[in-house]
A and B are shown apart, each in its own frame.
Chain A
């Protein structure tokens, strides 16, 4: 290791190699820029790849196979009880993660992006100091901040060793009983994984319902399906104390001022994330931070025109696909090609079983914003392909402008909702109308037909839904 000061110069410095930062770096390199990527972790991929979306989806897939095997009994197939080999499951998940991470490494290498391991901190508006690296500093012309977010620190009431979602993804064990604190998407996904692996899982949520961002009708259908796999869901309650006991935790839960104490073998806390903007030395730049969030414009530019910010450190949902898109916008703007994050819809997907997904305007937002909408709902029970899968519980709905028929949003719950939402997002992004969805031929028999059918319902021209008595359909 070279000691002392080794400074480097680069055209563009990208801080953070998550799905925002590495995408920005690759695109910048493709557009002819000299790029230096600074990453604190040993591998590229960020939270999403290393301790978020990817490993959780691998585990969810495993659990879904178990469920499918159990459900198969109903259609005349009986398998033995699934045996889970935690070590192999853990190893397989790790191999998925490392395979993808190596893939990213290869992409960066082939494009000549220099990757520096260390912790970056702005020293001035055009220079970064790097801790823990032989390259101690970088002078740049332009910079992209893509430092992402971290799990909210545990409130004082908690005592280690409760789990964070990152801990839970390591599959330390399958506890007999598990309390998940927080009924957001991370809590629900992880809770259902552990339930599928055999734990008795309870979820405690502060609000009167789960998944506050999603429409209640979608959540309701999912909860009805999932509640059979969960021990209980405790609404409108908060954890006020967690105490270590001999073989687990004693948890004080408060509801309407009433406290009750419960014993759990393990506690998993999933209470949100916060942007990594506080230890970056941003006070040495012109970047403006409000409530921990970096203010950016449509070009992903901060108040300092040569510093860009993308992903979880900026406003909007903390989602990998939003960060990636912003990474491309920032890269194109820096390379002088122009670009803007003017996306109309950022899809949200929850990998519960059944899956929930929505994009664009939700029905609840339409109410809050007093947008006059026509909503078409199509139940999967009326869809041939859903029946053949034995998964007829679910719903696809289209939220359209009451006057023009413009598709403003799509929401769905059911099998493969995570895949089907892409068409809804395209519709919103393109400014498609109900007619566009109705006229487009959807292959039969597939789940994708549900969106076309829902559009027909919204337009009052559905053939597969019985009209109400005394009501003739238009269209």
Chain B
């Protein structure tokens, strides 16, 4: 009997959602045959069976969230344990052998239930209660991935309700109690009103990509003082050049020579000139980490949520190469076939909602990066050139940046340089 535990899926991945089982209970499975598809915060992964044998049990249903280390499948590989009917003893059961079991961690039953509901192994939760007792707040904190407070129990949260509530309600109450104890002055987190009072509602669990995005955005907005700097690039010449080349290169790799590929190149040039936007701030060591590589993340809408695949080493790639990679990554993002490594190592992010509409937007930084560029829609606009009103193709740009490590002047220089490059394709040639 082999208990297959969800393996480590890579750095920072603690859990995943079961997308699809390739096997059913009772079926035989070959070694290395596809067993299950799990969607993690970053990608969908197919996990092969580590053993050959009969599937005795599936540890989770489609849609369930499983954590690394959870038993997801039990496979009867013919090893040990008797099945019913074989070698049944007629002797009375022997008393349990006097082994020395590890003492379970002290925690109230309601806290243990909360841990189960949040998929947390309570035995590994750092405890702040007296005598090593795990509190509901400890479980919440652990589930949210935050470290325990340095000093024991800063704020005294209200105890969880003693009344027996339905599972979800109890969890929500405890979650609220844990978070309502925040120590940020004037921060007032109120419990959700009962929206059903005013009409029909539907509840859907916050899972997978959506949950990941939610956490990242809250973290980014709370930790990072955002400033947005806006400008417009005149891309008339660039667009003429691009359309001409596009027609010529149709059908070839990177033939869909997108404007985005040119912007990636211009951003890379800007980052080389202004390293502060290709950095991260380590608030614990009070250090700025400058990255000497240029990996540009492209926010992609997949229909299942937002993912950010990364084009690596854009300083060493041609615009055509970059265009080819963006096309490949975008396609795989839509099909849910991105690998985890495709989404790692970014130093700066571009979000291009322009094709979907909108003149300008203020994007939120993809923490722990320090800047993000938002591209609006290219539109023909009347602009003044040499005292004349002329029609030009204008691209709205917004740079949102972390004011902790850069100032408005840096942003102005960065964006102006980019606007200059995008206005004159010849300048971009110099970067290739």
Measured CB to CB, the residues of A under 8 A from B are 152, 272-275, 278, 282-293, 295, 301, 303-305, 315, 337-340, 342-344, 368-371, 401, 404-406, 408, 429-431, 433, 435
Chain A hits for B265, CB < 8 A: none
On whether the beta carbons of A292 and B93 are closer than 8 Å, the reply is yes
Contact A431 B106 (CB under 8 A): yes
Contact in complex: B88, A315 (CB < 8 Å): no
Q: Can you list 6 pairs linking A and B with CB atoms under 8 Å apart?
A: A337-B166, A340-B116, A371-B103, A404-B130, A431-B106, A431-B134
Residue of B nearest to A298 (CB): B116
**In the complex, given contacts A405-B130, A431-B108, what are 8 additional A-B residue pairs having Cβ atoms less than 8 angstroms apart?**
A283-B84, A284-B85, A286-B56, A291-B89, A304-B25, A304-B56, A304-B57, A369-B100
B104 touches A288 (CB 8 A): no
Given A285-B84, A340-B116, also A303-B104 (CB < 8 A):
no
Which residues from B are CB-within-8-Å of A406?
106, 131-133
Given the known interface contacts A289-B88, A368-B98, A404-B132, the answer about A342 and B108 at a Cβ–Cβ threshold of 8 Å is: no
In the assembled complex, B357 has its CB within 8 A of some CB on chain A: no
Chain B count of residues within 8 A CB distance of the other chain: 42
> Using Cβ atoms and an 8 Å threshold, which residues of chain B touch A285?
84
A344 to B88, CA, bound (A): 30
- Taking CB atoms, residues of chain B closer than 8 Å to A339 are 113, 116
Contact string against A for B residues 114-141, beta-carbon threshold 8 Å, 1 for contact and 0 otherwise: 0011000000000001111110000000
B112 at interface by CB-CB < 8 Å: yes
| Residues A305 and B25 in contact, CB atoms below 8 Å apart | yes
Chain B residues whose C-beta falls within 8 Å of the C-beta of A272 in the assembled complex = 92
Select A291's contact among B56, B83, B93, B133, beta carbons within 8 Å.
B93
Given contacts A303-B74, A315-B96, A430-B109, contact A287 B84 (CB under 8 A): yes
Candidate in B57, B74, B93, B129 with the most chain A CB atoms within 10 angstroms: B93
Chain B 218-267 residues near chain A, CB threshold 8 A: none
Total inter-chain residue pairs, C-beta < 8 Å: 106
- Least Cβ distance of B170 to chain A in Å? 11
B93 touches A431 (CB 8 A): no
Interface positions of B from 291 to 338, Cβ below 8 Å from A: none
Chain B minimum-CB-distance residue to A278: B88
Q: Verify if B196 is at the interface (C-beta below 8 Å from A).
A: no
CA distance A286 to B90 in the complex (A): 20
A291 engages B100 (CB within 8 Å): no
Q: Please provide the 8 A-B residue pairs with the shortest distance between their CB atoms, ordered closest to farther.
A: A283-B85, A431-B106, A404-B131, A282-B84, A369-B100, A406-B131, A431-B133, A289-B84
Set B26, B82, B107, B130: member contacting A433, Cβ < 8 A: B130
* B167 interface residue (CB < 8 Å to A): yes
- Take A305-B25, A342-B112 as given contacts and tell me if A275 and B93 are in contact as well, using a CB distance cutoff of 8 Å: yes
Least CB separation from B71: chain A residue: A297
Question: Does B192 make an interface contact (CB < 8 A)?
Answer: no
Q: Which partner residue on chain A sits nearest B61 by CB separation?
A: A336
Complex: chain B residue closest to A280, CB-CB: B84
Return chain B residues, CB-CB under 8 Å to A342.
Answer: 104, 109, 112
Asked if B81 lies at the interface with its beta carbon under 8 angstroms from chain A, I say yes
B138 vs chain A, min Cβ distance (A): 12
CB distance from A130 to the nearest CB of B (A): 19
Q: Is the CB of B100 within 8 A of A370?
A: yes
Assess whether B167 is in contact with A344, with CB atoms less than 8 Å apart.
no
Hey, which chain A residues are within 8 Å of B166, CB to CB? 337
Query: Measured between C-beta atoms, what is the minimum distance from B180 to chain A in Å?
Result: 23
Give complex CA distance A135, B421 in Å.
Answer: 84
With an 8 A cutoff between CB atoms, is B94 at the interface? yes
CA distance A275 to B107 in the complex (A): 32
Is A288 in contact with B93, judged by CB distance below 8 angstroms? Answer: no
Instruction: Name the residue of chain B whose CB is nearest to the CB of A435.
Output: B130
Residues of B within 8 A of A370 (CB): 100
Most chain B CB atoms below 10 A, which of A272, A288, A301, A429:
A288
Interface pair A338/B56, CB less than 8 Å apart: no
Is B56's CB under 8 angstroms from A433's CB? no
A404 to B131, CA, bound (A): 5
Cβ contact within 8 Å between B167 and A337: yes
A288 touches B132 (CB 8 A): no
Q: A233 CB to closest chain B CB, in angstroms? A: 22
Q: Which of B128-183 contact A (CB under 8 A)?
A: 129-134, 166-167
- Shortest Cβ gap from B105 to chain A (Å): 8
Once bound together, how far apart are the Cα atoms of A368 and B95, in whole Å? Answer: 15
* Cα distance A128–B131 in the bound complex, in angstroms: 49
Closest to A340 in B: B116
B91 contacts A by Cβ under 8 Å: yes
Say yes or no: is B360 at the interface (Cβ < 8 Å to chain A).
Answer: no
Cα separation A50 to B116 with both chains bound (whole Å): 37
Q: Once bound together, how far apart are the Cα atoms of A339 and B82, in whole Å?
A: 27
Chain B positions within 8 Å of A278 at CB level: 88, 90
Q: Check if B57 sits within 8 Å of A303, measured CB to CB.
A: yes
Contact, CB under 8 Å: B83 / A429: no
B362 at the interface (CB under 8 A from A): no
Q: Are A431 and B103 in contact (CB under 8 A)?
A: no
Beta-carbon nearest neighbor of B74 in chain A = A303
